[in-house]
């Protein structure tokens, strides 16, 4: 099994990183590691596995993120994930939402390191894939570095080698998920110190990463950087990541990406996918470009509505080609 490159990855985000978003992002970047939305182990056990887990192999490398706290179910889900062709299995210990807490998974499990260790041990024993952890630096009033150190130390003894650390604590039951992404202060120094204290572990930093410059800064101190909302709102940021982090200059321009996406949408519609399920992810493709509002408006009015007509997909290129300078500048005027 080849080693997974986690130098830069895109964070698992609910209602964002579904298979259509991952396919779209892979058109821009061939090197970043992509993650699924969190998939609950109980849902895999009882539900439609194909609906939950099927994906296009052109998305690879892709990590499956699981949520849960029952060792047996998590282990079974990890094995099923391997069978479906995923490259990594990740356990979510970072989601702070009340719904997630009620079902006893996500960030509330930081309170129960021994249970988490049991879950990880069974997962590791069930699959040949790497099992990784995504967690926060603490919760509520528990935010001292010593607690984080002890938590990671307990989990690493299971055999986990890779930890993705969101450099904020989780406020359980006090903040909304959105507030938990912004209000708790970032403590990057905690993550840097983890790497110093656990040199044998792969430490990936997450939280508030918005630019190539910030990625470079973090990579001088830890092993990888994970980007979330910035990529969702401005996906072509990954083109700069490819060029400056992975030294890949063979990048598709925005027009080429749109052309490839048209073919994908048409194929997906034949399978029963709605146009808006794909195109809603592309609103930010021209972010920062002159005339990007025209792109967003056209998509919002024609492609991102539930009953969008697939025949209108071909007119997207008419919008893209409005500017004679598009081929060189990527602008929409």
Determine the Cα–Cα distance for residues 268 and 6; give it in Å rounded to an integer.
29
Q: Which contiguous run of DSSP H or E holds residue 194? A: helix 188-197
In a domain, 2, yes or no: no
The residue among 244, 277, 294 that closes a domain is 244
Long-range Cβ pairs for the range 195-202 (8 Å, 24+): 195/221, 195/222, 195/223, 197/149, 198/152, 198/153, 198/156, 200/161, 201/152, 201/156, 201/161, 201/162, 201/163, 202/6, 202/161, 202/162, 202/163
Per cent of the chain over pLDDT 90 is: 74
Q: List pLDDT tens digits, range 15-54.
A: 999 999 999 999 999 999 999 999 999 999 999 999 999 9
8, β-bridge pairs: 225
236 DSSP assignment: T
134 DSSP assignment: E
In a domain, 144, yes or no: yes
Q: Note whether 89 and 167 are same-domain residues.
A: yes
Catalytic site residue 95? yes
Q: Note whether 268 and 161 are same-domain residues.
A: no
Task: Give me the CATH number covering residue 18.
Answer: 3.20.20.70
Q: Is residue 326 pLDDT above 50, yes or no?
A: no
Q: List pLDDT tens digits, range 206-258.
A: 999 999 999 999 999 999 999 999 999 999 999 999 999 999 999 999 999 99
Q: Note whether 29 and 160 are same-domain residues.
A: yes
The pLDDT value recorded for residue 317 is 78
The residue among 244, 276, 302 that closes a domain is 244
Task: Give me the CATH number covering residue 264.
Answer: 1.20.120.1460
In a domain, 249, yes or no: no
- Number of domains forming the structure of the chain: 2
From 16, 95, 108, 119, the catalytic residue: 95
In a domain, 1, yes or no: no
Q: What residue numbers bound the domain in which 277 lies?
A: 254-329
Q: Is residue 99 pLDDT above 80, yes or no?
A: no
For 25, counting Cβ atoms within 10 Å of its Cβ (0-12 exposed, 13-18 middle, 19+ buried), the class is buried
């Amino acid at each position: 099994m080849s080693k997974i490159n986690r130098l830069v990855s895109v964070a698992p985000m609910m209602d964002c990183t579904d298979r259509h978003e991952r396919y779209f992002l892979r058109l821009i970047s061939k090197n970043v590691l992509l993650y699924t939305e969190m998939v609950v182990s109980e849902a895999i056990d009882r539900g439609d596995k194909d609906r939950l887990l099927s994906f296009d192999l052109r998305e690879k490398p892709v990590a499956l993120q699981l949520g849960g706290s029952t060792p047996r179910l998590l282990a079974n889900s990890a094995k099923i994930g391997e069978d479906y062709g995923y490259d990594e299995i990740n356990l979510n210990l970072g989601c702070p939402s009340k719904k997630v807490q009620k079902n006893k998974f996500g960030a509330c499990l930081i309170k129960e390191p021994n249970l988490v260790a049991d879950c990880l041990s069974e997962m590791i024993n069930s699959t040949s894939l790497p099992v990784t952890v995504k967690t926060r630096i603490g919760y509520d009033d528990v935010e001292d570095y010593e607690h984080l150190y002890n938590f990671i130390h307990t989990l690493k003894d299971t055999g986990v080698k890779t930890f993705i650390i969101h450099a904020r604590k989780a406020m359980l039951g006090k903040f909304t998920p959105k507030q938990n992404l912004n209000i708790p202060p970032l403590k990057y120094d905690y993550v840097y110190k983890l790497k110093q204290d656990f040199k044998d572990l792969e430490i990936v930093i997450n939280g508030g990463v918005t630019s190539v410059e910030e990625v470079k800064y973090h990579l001088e101190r830890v092993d990888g950087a994970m980007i979330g909302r910035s990529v969702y709102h401005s996906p072509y940021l990954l083109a700069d990541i490819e060029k400056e982090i992975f030294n890949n200059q063979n990048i598709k321009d925005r027009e080429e990406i749109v052309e490839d996406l048209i073919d994908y949408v048409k194929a997906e519609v034949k399978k029963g996918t709605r146009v808006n399920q794909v195109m809603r992810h592309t609103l930010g493709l021209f972010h920062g470009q002159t005339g990007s509002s025209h792109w967003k408006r056209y998509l919002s009015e024609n492609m991102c509505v539930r009953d969008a007509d697939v025949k209108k997909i071909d007119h997207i290129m008419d919008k893209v080609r409005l500017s004679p300078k598009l081929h060189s500048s990527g602008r929409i005027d």
